[in-house]
């Protein structure tokens, strides 16, 4: 766990250290944990995970809560050991619409577990775990491993990808695609959230790198990779196992409100069964399991229940004394009273935020209301505040104080950028306007093959005034963005090398600075006003 002032308090927590001892004891198979509020759940899970060298699976009732818990754990222990295991579907198995990003995340988790790696913490929810998965044997059969130095031909690789139902395209931008240009093969496997670039030297793998689909730039060097097809396209006969069959025997399963989760899965299963009887869906019931069966599968492992509706008879019980962050509704007088009361009662108050400017804003507000108000600022991302009465600490989040929506971020979810993406590039038509950061607005002239240092490469053709031509290499996509005009009027196109674009950029920067100065003066006047 990251060493920060807040988490160091939990090193000597009177309940936590006993909980860690109990989880570490193989003889104790049923544990009950009570009294956890807000992000204290994440801190406790992160503390246990740091001390227990095994896989931890955490199941919470709702997808959104699972996503926020995932974010909290990533903030506390880093991204590498934390996994999010979503449902295959955008909404639910009932609506059938699959989500490629979700399939990638699911496959990544299964591949991690199948590789024999023991350390990891996986966050999930009922709609996900009720889906049956491909068996370990069939996953291995549908996995093609490639390592640097392997004797492998491009022809054989393409043959394998064709067998895996991968689609050949000019440039990859989503899972299940591959592209071949000269001695380079780009492959977007369903086992990772970035595609791989495999460089061949004759019939030997010379190098493997991940790269960004938006700008085609390399991200990291890889020694070995696994190429896995869309496991949701595998035949129903091969999708028979429970997700828990992938867990090592030493794993610990944390379940929040077990009885509710069991009932929720049973209800979804019943709805699917009714839809199949009425002919609204077909074959979905074979891909999911009942809540009863899933809980039976979980019962084979050590279980730690938290929340209000447990199912198992606990052998050890642990009660934390926490409460959620109060609702202030942007009432800073009320907030300042809370902070003063905490100080009088011997509590340390932390206000956490991802933004230093928000911390500074709160300091300015308190300096006007009551200069005696004190708090400890922390720059970290946690979802929900709490008070721990055993440790005498109070944790408040800035988004709850200001009553703002707090957005979660999941690794691997494809994000939108201003630079043009390969997917957008393939949708452009000759004559469409694009903007090059150095040369300004030009017309898209299509993709062309050009010779660079004796090698044939793909390039984007941009046409400027007087039919000036600029070729932009596919590795420089980050320098191009799609033109966004305020109306349908045609933009002005300048001649290459004229310097007009640079003058326009400089004058625009000057105008932006002038506006910023005016705003600063305006806010200074407001602050000075009674």
Of 195, 227, 259, at which residue does a domain stop?
227
- Taking the model in full, what pTM does it have? 0.75
- Regarding whether 279 and 211 lie in a shared domain, the answer is no
Model confidence pLDDT, tens digit, residues 198-227: 999 888 899 999 988 776 778 889 998 989
Predicted pLDDT of residue 166: 92
- Regarding whether 430 and 386 lie in a shared domain, the answer is no
Domain CATH for 55: 3.40.50.300
- Regarding whether 155 and 18 lie in a shared domain, the answer is no
Query: What is d(CA 377, CA 71) in angstroms, rounded to the nearest whole number?
Result: 20
Half-sphere exposure of 163 (CA within 13 A, CB side): 12
Domain CATH for 178: 3.30.2060.10
Coil/strand/helix, residue 388: strand
Model confidence pLDDT, tens digit, residues 104-114: 888 889 888 88
Q: Is residue 413 assigned to a domain?
A: no
- Regarding whether 330 and 188 lie in a shared domain, the answer is no
Of 319, 350, 377, at which residue does a domain stop?
319
Residue 503: give the domain boundaries. Answer: 499-530
- Regarding whether 167 and 88 lie in a shared domain, the answer is no
Query: What is d(CA 246, CA 135) in angstroms, rounded to the nearest whole number?
Result: 8
Query: What is d(CA 101, CA 413) in angstroms, rounded to the nearest whole number?
Result: 6
Phi/psi of residue 9, nearest 5 degrees: -60, -35
In contact, 59 and 122? CB cutoff 8 Å:
no
Q: Is residue 235 assigned to a domain?
A: no
Q: Is residue 233 assigned to a domain?
A: no
pLDDT band at 487 (very low <50, low <70, confident <90, very high): low
Q: Is residue 215 assigned to a domain?
A: yes
Q: Is residue 409 assigned to a domain?
A: no
Q: Is residue 238 assigned to a domain?
A: no
Q: Is residue 232 assigned to a domain?
A: no
Predicted pLDDT of residue 235: 61
User: Residue 120 corresponds to which tokens in the numbers above?
Assistant: 């990891």
- Lowest mean pLDDT segment, chosen from 109-113, 124-128, 418-422: 418-422
Kindly tell me if the per-residue pLDDT of 441 is higher than 80. yes
- Regarding whether 505 and 491 lie in a shared domain, the answer is no
Q: DSSP string covering 463-474, please?
A: E-GGG-EEEEEG
- Regarding whether 39 and 124 lie in a shared domain, the answer is yes
- Regarding whether 275 and 130 lie in a shared domain, the answer is yes
> Comparing C-alpha atoms, which of 230, 284, 241 is closest to residue 137?
241
Model confidence pLDDT, tens digit, residues 39-50: 999 999 999 998
Look-up of token digits 């406790």: 44
Q: Is residue 408 assigned to a domain?
A: no
Predicted pLDDT of residue 122: 94
- Regarding whether 25 and 132 lie in a shared domain, the answer is yes
- Regarding whether 125 and 187 lie in a shared domain, the answer is no
- Regarding whether 291 and 390 lie in a shared domain, the answer is no
| Residue 21 CB neighbours (<10 A) | 12
Number of domains in the chain: 5
- Regarding whether 162 and 109 lie in a shared domain, the answer is no
Cα separations in angstroms, 164 against 160, 161, 186, 189, 194: 6, 5, 15, 10, 18
Kindly tell me if the per-residue pLDDT of 163 is higher than 60. yes
Note every long-range contact of 231-235, with CB atoms under 8 Å and residues 24 or more positions apart, other chains counting. 231/103, 231/106, 231/107, 231/110, 231/133, 231/134, 231/139, 231/142, 231/190, 232/88, 232/98, 232/103, 233/165, 234/134, 234/138, 234/142
Phi/psi of residue 414, nearest 5 degrees: -70, 125
Of 177, 200, 227, at which residue does a domain stop?
227
User: What is the 8-class DSSP label of residue 481?
Assistant: E
Query: What is d(CA 175, CA 75) in angstroms, rounded to the nearest whole number?
Result: 27
Kindly tell me if the per-residue pLDDT of 239 is higher than 90. no
Query: What is d(CA 174, CA 24) in angstroms, rounded to the nearest whole number?
Result: 41
pLDDT band at 234 (very low <50, low <70, confident <90, very high): low
Model confidence pLDDT, tens digit, residues 297-323: 999 999 999 988 888 988 899 999 999
Predicted pLDDT of residue 371: 83
């Amino acid at each position: 766990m990251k060493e920060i002032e807040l988490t160091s308090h939990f090193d000597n927590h009177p309940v936590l250290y006993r909980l860690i001892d109990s989880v570490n004891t193989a003889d104790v198979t049923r544990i009950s944990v009570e009294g956890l509020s807000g992000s204290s759940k994440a801190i406790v899970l992160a503390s246990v995970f740091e001390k227990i060298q095994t896989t931890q699976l955490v199941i919470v009732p709702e997808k959104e809560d699972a996503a926020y818990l995932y974010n909290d754990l990533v903030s506390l222990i880093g991204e590498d050991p934390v996994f999010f295991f979503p449902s295959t579907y955008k909404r639910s198995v009932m609506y059938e619409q699959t989500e490629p990003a979700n399939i990638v995340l699911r496959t990544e988790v299964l591949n991690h577990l199948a590789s024999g790696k023991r350390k990891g913490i996986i966050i999930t929810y009922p709609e996900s775990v009720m889906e049956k998965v491909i068996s370990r044997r069939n996953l291995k059969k549908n996995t093609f491993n490639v390592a640097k130095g392997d004797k492998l031909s491009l022809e054989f690789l393409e043959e394998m990808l064709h067998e895996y139902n991968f689609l050949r395209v000019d440039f990859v931008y989503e899972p299940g695609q591959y592209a071949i240009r000269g001695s380079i093969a780009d492959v977007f496997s369903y086992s990772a959230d970035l595609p791989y670039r495999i460089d061949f030297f004759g019939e030997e793998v010379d190098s493997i790198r991940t790269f960004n689909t938006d700008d085609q730039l390399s991200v990291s060097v890889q020694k070995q990779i696994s190429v896995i097809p869309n496991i949701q396209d595998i035949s129903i006969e091969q999708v028979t196992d429970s997700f828990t069959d992938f867990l090592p025997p030493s794993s610990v399963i944390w379940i929040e409100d077990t009885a509710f989760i069991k009932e929720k899965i049973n209800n979804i299963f019943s709805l699917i069964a009714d839809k199949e009887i009425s002919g609204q869906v077909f074959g979905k019931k074979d891909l999911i399991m009942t809540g009863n069966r899933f809980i039976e599968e979980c019962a084979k492992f050590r279980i730690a229940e938290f929340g209000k509706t447990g199912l198992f008879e606990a052998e050890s019980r642990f009660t934390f004394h926490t409460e959620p962050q109060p609702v202030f509704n942007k009432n800073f007088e009320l907030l300042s009273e809370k902070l003063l009361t905490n100080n009088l009662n011997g509590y340390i108050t932390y206000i956490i935020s991802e933004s230093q400017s928000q911390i500074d804003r709160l300091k300015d507000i308190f300096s006007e209301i009551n200069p005696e108000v004190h708090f400890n600022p922390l720059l970290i991302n946690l979802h929900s505040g709490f008070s721990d009465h055993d440790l005498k600490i109070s944790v408040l989040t800035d988004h709850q104080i200001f009553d703002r929506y707090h957005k979660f971020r999941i690794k691997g979810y494809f994000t939108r950028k201003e630079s043009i993406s390969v997917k957008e590039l393939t949708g452009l038509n000759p004559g469409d306007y694009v903007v090059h950061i150095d040369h300004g607005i030009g017309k898209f002239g299509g993709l062309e093959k050009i010779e660079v240092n004796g090698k044939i490469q793909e390039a984007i053709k941009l046409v400027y005034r007087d039919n000036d031509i600029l070729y932009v290499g596919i590795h420089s996509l980050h320098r191009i963005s799609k033109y966004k005009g305020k109306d349908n009027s045609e933009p002005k196109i300048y001649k290459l090398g004229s310097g007009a674009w640079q003058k326009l950029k400089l004058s625009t920067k000057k105008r932006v600075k002038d506006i910023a100065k005016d705003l600063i003066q305006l806010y200074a006047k407001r602050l000075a006003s009674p």
